[in-house]
Structure 1
Amino acid sequence: MLIEFDNTIALVKPEGDGELEMYAQVREAVKTMAPGARYMRQHKLWLQTKGAKGWDGRTSILSKPHPSNGSAFFPTGLLPYIHAELAALATMPFTFNDLRHRPQMPSYEYSVPLRDYQADAFLAAVNNKVFMGTTAGYHWPQGVLQIATGGGKTELAVALCQAIPVPTMFIVHRKHLVTQARERFKKYGIDTGQIGDGVFDPNTSGVTVATVQTLDRLFKEGDNEKIKQFLGAEQIFFDEAHLAASKIAVGNQLVSVSRQFRRAYYRFGLTATPFLKDEYSNQLLMGCTGDRLAHITNERLIKAGYLTPPRVVIIKMPDIGRPKSWPDVYDHAIVLNLNRNKRIIEELVKCPKPALVMTSRLGHASILRRMAINKGIPVPAVHNGATKNKDRTKGIADLQSGKISAIIATGIYEEGVDIPNLRTLILAGGGKSKVAALQKIGRGLRKAAGKHEVLVIDFNDQTGAILKRHSAARKKIWEEEGFDVKERD
């Protein structure tokens, strides 16, 4: 069986019924449950009829064979994984035709100072090989660089850009991260272009920071005059790459954008929390970037003294007994629960400052802000997805300087927000997602002068089975991360 691959797509060319059958077996083997399948009518019908009708809920990231010639395709990032599945089934030889565009090889020269684990991750990125049945192997400089929040992912990206001086796209998912990334690159003498947040000014020979949404729009509009100014990128970074697996729409958008950069030989995902979703979503991420190249944990960085140890205090909240449906449970036991909200404000009043209170809903954040102001805590307007970059930047600067002592924010603060001297983090919104939990707690782990720990206030909500499960899931996350965890009433 022949597999031809470039930097984005692997094309399978089966010959004869035997090879078609082998591909069909692999496609079946790597099928996973589609996210949200259990809510779909056709899957419910399949369950009700015990498979006689409807859909079993499984899907594959591998395409179906073309009816005319049997050819099929999948993202190149999955090729080593698919090869392993093929090798397990192979009763006949298969060959590879490597069609990747290859720019210059790394110089290994960079000026940004790297810690030991960053240097190890750098070498893993530039030296990675996959063998796929060969002795020499294929140079495979792509994959996920998993480094805990505060561990210096951007500095690693800067080192890679210095060592691989080719046209580069640094892709982010939120407008405020464009400014933040550009400032970090500028700190190390790299002047970047920008695509997004109303600006189109790519650096055609250097680094360009871009939002995935703007790139997706430009590709869909077919604006070739603009596209040709950045499409020659030979290296791409996906910042907060776990978002490729956060929602199918986001994952598909990232895969779609990724496929456009056919010359991008170097492909890296930067994140603290990859491969924590369902298998299909994880395959989307791997298709964009490749498999994990480095894994640097919170526990390792805390033990090494690079991050601040958290002290997690979980406060038990009693069952309020009334609501039955999930929306009512969340509204009455979390958002509108007066006793719980009072407890949040009590903890905010007495906790070390500066403090960050995080909620899942804007309405809940607004309630808490009014209660905080009534207790004499000057809290600025709630920071949320609609907050302008300049207002968010000013709020964080005021918090750092001591001009204000607390900020209340929604999920917009889960990623890409640096508040090194943060002393307290109050998790007011509940939830069970490991990705969200670790992203949130990462806001408080950065080191600062005189900071020996960060206090994390969480809640053990006892209203309804779902909130109980969510609370237990978060406690398990904290314990698995090796954090100091205590419970109290």
Structure 2
Amino acid sequence: MDSYIGSYGYTIHKKYISSEQVKKITSDLTVKPNIHNGMPSQSVTSFPVYRESSSKYYVPKFYGIEHFGSVQTRLKENSLANDLLFVGSLREYQNTIVDKYINIAHNGQDIGGGGLLEIDTGLGKTVIAINIIAKLKVKTLIVVHKEFLLNQWIERLNEFTPAAKIGRIQGKIMDTEGKDVVIAMLQSISMKDYNPDIFKQFGLMVIDEVHHMGAEVFSNALSKVVTKYTLGLSATMNRKDGLAKVFKMFLGPIIHTEKRELSMNQVNVRCLQYFTRDEEFNETSYDYRGKTQYSKMISKLCSYNHRSEYILRYICELLREDPKQQIMILAHNKCLLKYFYDSIVSRNIANQSVGYYVGGMKESDLKISEKKTIVIATYSMASEGLDIKTLTTLVLATPKTDVVQAVGRILRVKHANPLVIDVIDSHEIFKRQFSQRKRFYKSQEYGISFISSNLGSFDKKHWQTKMYKDVESKQRDKNTVNCERKTSATYNAPPELLKILNTPVNMYDDDDDALNSYLNTDEECHIEV
């Protein structure tokens, strides 16, 4: 078939393939994201991840190998003139990952010399990648999507390969000549038209936070840069829109997954269940198709000061418990972050030791914020690359389904009592999101406890620990709640909420509606746990 792997990818001559094969290429490589979070269906369009000329198709390297077989490569290794000396040592599991990747890169003809490393936050994926760069001994392009990640890579390269000459591709900056490692901004490669010959000098491409590469705009970079070796890094390769398959076709399959041992951190999750009688706040917004308007609902939470004050009260409680802890508050919208920041400063909370950690800030300002008692950040900044080893407590001030990477920010160094504060709202869409978070907490064996805003205080006696399913009793009744736990205790609610009801029922671990209906009522009840 006279195919080969070149600087445009896996190259196939049109005259050597059948009409059925052409149909398969165009069908397989025209992708469309799944709809999620109420995204309007008309806003979702398909896009191609292949290119063609009058005589050839250019398809992703690993797709071509899988469907059309192994072929010769015309890509150069572009070895470095001088060896890069790696200064430092790896842990045993890190050495295992490096050895596995190097073996595949050199000998894995079937998968094309590369793949993806799925490594939990805090387990050293950056230092693993730098060790791989030093061992492959080829000129390397590292692609990142945020400037603070670019600066972070420069710091780590200087630390572990001090002899490396480091260049940059960003906007009009094209500093590649005579460099061992070049760090490029993903947005620049995706959207700017650089001379394609620039990318022929690289033997290895490393993409940090590779899960972003499934998006239409960013996937353009994968067509522009084709190297003999490929390496994708992320704590999670999943994408809600189903487009993880895109970067896997270009970069290779997952070749190693390294998860944090459950026993490494005894994380406690404290869930603040927020309720209000405000009917307008409690309403769910729908579009004309009857779908929940997720962004509008998030904005409602962020602008509701009564809710924000409840969270601030608990932050003050946390600081009374342990003034030495470092707290990160996460939210979607900057308006809520500003409310927190202004309130903390004006009320002299934490001696006004508070700093922003949001997009667009200078590296020097981010460094200053890293030393504050309270760090106020967006989810997007905290989900990837953030490396503040002193963080001990995380406050999830607005709801999010996937908090794996965010929680990882308090696990980078083993602390005595890492703590997650999870605010649960009463709207159905947000309760469903909490169910997803709760599954993650349970899978990691985190301790989970609950308290309701209706109780009026954060006294320890008001907290309920995680409930376990009562598998023996089959009776259910909606008048009282009877739970079975690993330990026995008596729950004492304030007098105004207590009333003894006569008929016992069971509450099951996943029966969120039953729990919420209790916590949202003014009726008194007695709970036996």
**Which range, TM-score by smaller chain?**
0.7 to 0.9
Alignment of 1:286-301 (within 5 A): 286-298=248-260, 300=261
Instruction: Determine helix, strand or coil for the equivalent of 1:236.
Output: strand
1:296/1:209 Cα in 2 relative to 1: closer, same or farther (>3 Å)? same
Alignment of 1:180-191 (within 5 A): 180-188=152-160, 189-191=162-164
Give the structure 2 partner of residue 86 of structure 1: none
Alignment of 1:175-214 (within 5 A): 175-188=147-160, 189-191=162-164, 192-196=166-170, 200-202=174-176, 204-214=178-188
1:277/1:160 Cα in 2 relative to 1: closer, same or farther (>3 Å)? same
Q: Which of 289, 308, 311 is matched with 1:344 structurally?
A: 311
Contact conserved, 1:312 with 1:485, CA < 8 A, in 2?
Answer: yes
Give the structure 2 partner of residue 480 of structure 1: 443
Distance in 2, Cα, partners of 1:62 & 1:130: 26
Distance in 2, Cα, partners of 1:482 & 1:153: 24
The one-letter code sitting in structure 1 at the alignment partner of 2:96 is: D
The one-letter code sitting in structure 2 at the alignment partner of 1:363 is: C
Give the structure 1 partner of residue 511 of structure 2: none
**Cα distance, 1:14 vs structure 2:** 6.0
Unaligned runs of 5+ in 1: 44-56, 84-93, 400-404
Q: Which of 77, 91, 96 is matched with 1:115 structurally?
A: 91
Alignment of 1:265-276 (within 5 A): 265-276=228-239
Q: Which of 270, 275, 281 is matched with 1:313 structurally?
A: 270
Give the structure 2 partner of residue 127 of structure 1: 103
Alignment of 1:90-489 (within 5 A): 96-103=70-77, 111-128=87-104, 137-138=109-110, 140-188=112-160, 189-191=162-164, 192-196=166-170, 200-202=174-176, 204-216=178-190, 219-220=192-193, 222=194, 224=195, 231-245=200-214, 248-249=215-216, 252-253=217-218, 255-262=219-226, 264-279=227-242, 281-298=243-260, 300=261, 302-303=262-263, 305=264, 308-318=265-275, 320-322=278-280, 323-325=283-285, 326=293, 327-332=295-300, 334-351=301-318, 352=322, 353-377=325-349, 378-396=352-370, 398-399=371-372, 405-410=373-378, 411-432=380-401, 434=402, 437-447=403-413, 451-463=415-427, 465-489=428-452
Distance in 2, Cα, partners of 1:173 & 1:278: 19
Distance in 2, Cα, partners of 1:129 & 1:209: 21
The one-letter code sitting in structure 1 at the alignment partner of 2:284 is: K
Distance in 1, Cα, partners of 2:15 & 2:170: 45
**Cα distance, 1:154 vs structure 2:** 1.0
Give the structure 2 partner of residue 4 of structure 1: 4
The one-letter code sitting in structure 1 at the alignment partner of 2:224 is: Q
Distance in 1, Cα, partners of 2:445 & 2:369: 32
Distance in 2, Cα, partners of 1:272 & 1:318: 34
Tell which deviates more after alignment, 309-318 or 6-15: 6-15
Distance in 2, Cα, partners of 1:171 & 1:30: 23
Distance in 1, Cα, partners of 2:151 & 2:356: 21
Alignment of 1:58-97 (within 5 A): 61=49, 72-80=57-65, 82-83=66-67, 96-97=70-71
The one-letter code sitting in structure 1 at the alignment partner of 2:273 is: K
Q: How many residue pairs are counted as aligned between the two chains?
A: 427
Q: Cα deviations across residues 458-479 of structure 1 (Å, max 9, x unaligned)? A: 122112x222222222222322
Contact conserved, 2:85 with 2:134, CA < 8 A, in 1?
Answer: yes
Give the structure 2 partner of residue 20 of structure 1: 19
1:338/1:102 Cα in 2 relative to 1: closer, same or farther (>3 Å)? same
1:190/1:216 Cα in 2 relative to 1: closer, same or farther (>3 Å)? farther
Instruction: Determine helix, strand or coil for the equivalent of 1:194.
Output: strand
Distance in 1, Cα, partners of 2:140 & 2:103: 19
Q: Cα deviations across residues 101-157 of structure 1 (Å, max 9, x unaligned)? A: 2427999985531122211211221212799xxxx9547321111111111011111
Distance in 1, Cα, partners of 2:202 & 2:24: 36
Contact conserved, 1:6 with 1:76, CA < 8 A, in 2?
Answer: no
Contact conserved, 1:34 with 1:59, CA < 8 A, in 2?
Answer: no
Contact conserved, 2:141 with 2:182, CA < 8 A, in 1?
Answer: yes
TM-score normalised by L of structure 2? 0.72
Instruction: Determine helix, strand or coil for the equivalent of 1:270.
Output: strand
Contact conserved, 1:175 with 1:197, CA < 8 A, in 2?
Answer: no
Contact conserved, 2:206 with 2:233, CA < 8 A, in 1?
Answer: yes
Instruction: Determine helix, strand or coil for the equivalent of 1:98.
Output: coil
Distance in 1, Cα, partners of 2:235 & 2:245: 17
**Cα distance, 1:289 vs structure 2:** 1.8
Q: What percentage of aligned pairs have identical amino acids?
A: 19
Instruction: Determine helix, strand or coil for the equivalent of 1:467.
Output: helix
1:139/1:74 Cα in 2 relative to 1: closer, same or farther (>3 Å)? closer
**Cα distance, 1:441 vs structure 2:** 1.1
Distance in 2, Cα, partners of 1:214 & 1:29: 27
Give the structure 1 partner of residue 496 of structure 2: none
**Cα distance, 1:423 vs structure 2:** 1.2
Distance in 2, Cα, partners of 1:3 & 1:177: 37
Unaligned runs of 5+ in 2: 286-292, 453-529
Q: Cα deviations across residues 234-271 of structure 1 (Å, max 9, x unaligned)? A: 111111111113xx24xx33x32233334x21110111
Higher RCO by CA contacts (8 Å cutoff, separation 6 or greater): 1
What is the aligned-residue RMSD (CA, Å)? 3.3
Instruction: Determine helix, strand or coil for the equivalent of 1:382.
Output: strand
Contact conserved, 1:4 with 1:98, CA < 8 A, in 2?
Answer: yes
1:30/1:216 Cα in 2 relative to 1: closer, same or farther (>3 Å)? closer
Contact conserved, 2:102 with 2:136, CA < 8 A, in 1?
Answer: no
Query: Based on CA coordinates, which of the two structures has the bigger radius of gyration?
Result: 2
Instruction: Determine helix, strand or coil for the equivalent of 2:400.
Output: coil
Instruction: Determine helix, strand or coil for the equivalent of 1:10.
Output: strand
Contact conserved, 1:78 with 1:283, CA < 8 A, in 2?
Answer: no
Contact conserved, 1:242 with 1:271, CA < 8 A, in 2?
Answer: yes
Contact conserved, 1:171 with 1:236, CA < 8 A, in 2?
Answer: yes
Tell which deviates more after alignment, 311-320 or 197-206: 197-206
